[in-house]
Amino acid sequence: MIQKTFGILNGPNLDRLGVREPSVYGSATLSDVEDALRGTARELDVGVAFFQSNHEGELLDKIVAWADAGISGIVLNPGALAHTSVALRDCVAGCGLPVVEVHISNVYRREEFRHHSFTAAVCAGVVSGLGTEGYSLALRFLAGRARS
Ligand code: DQA
């Protein structure tokens, strides 16, 4: 059987994990997070592809490219674009893939402007506040769903 592959997509400022506000986002870097996800993917016998950008359009282009390439689902941390981007929301809605939104922090315990997510409403679900483990939990969900 051909192995299913999932995209792990990180938006603005997530390249600064480990340095950026560690009291909110923890001390793991993005490359630590990606290493942990490679381990989860091995365990689940799926492939993972990674992409991070600080540029909205590049994220949209990657979602469409992954969809065209036949990827099976996306774990998406949109960063602040969750709270601002109708374009990202429309792209997620139109890509035809299951997408799980991840926030490392619990956005509902933070400033009010973080309580609304444009993207969440078009995702299969949201993981928020479980730290960087949220990425692996989202990948497990998507892999399980793709198997059933
Ligand atoms: C975040 C939460 C967002 O509100 C914030 O803008 C981020 C990170 C998180 O992972 O907790 O950049 O998506």
| CA-closest residue to ligand 1 atom 6 | 80
pLDDT tens, residue by residue, 13-48: 999 999 999 999 999 999 999 999 999 999 999 999
CA dist 59 and 65 (Å) reads 10
Residue-wise over 27-66: b if at least 16 C-beta within 10 A, else e?
A: ebebeebbebbeebbeebebbbeebbbeebeebbebbeeb
Q: How far is the CA of 148 from the centre of ligand 1 (A)?
A: 31
| Best residue for ligand 1 mutational test, from 16, 107, 123 (most atoms within 8 Å of Cβ) | 107
CA dist 81 and 46 (Å) reads 28
Give mean pLDDT in consecutive 10-residue pieces for the chain, a chain of 148 residues. 90 98 96 98 98 98 98 98 98 98 98 98 98 98 93
Go through the domains of the chain in sequence order and give each one's CATH number: 5-147 (3.40.50.9100)
Residues identified as active-site: 25, 103
How many Å separate Cα 142 from the centre of its chain? 11
What pLDDT was estimated at residue 147? 86
Is 102 in contact with 138 (CB distance < 8 Å)?
Answer: yes
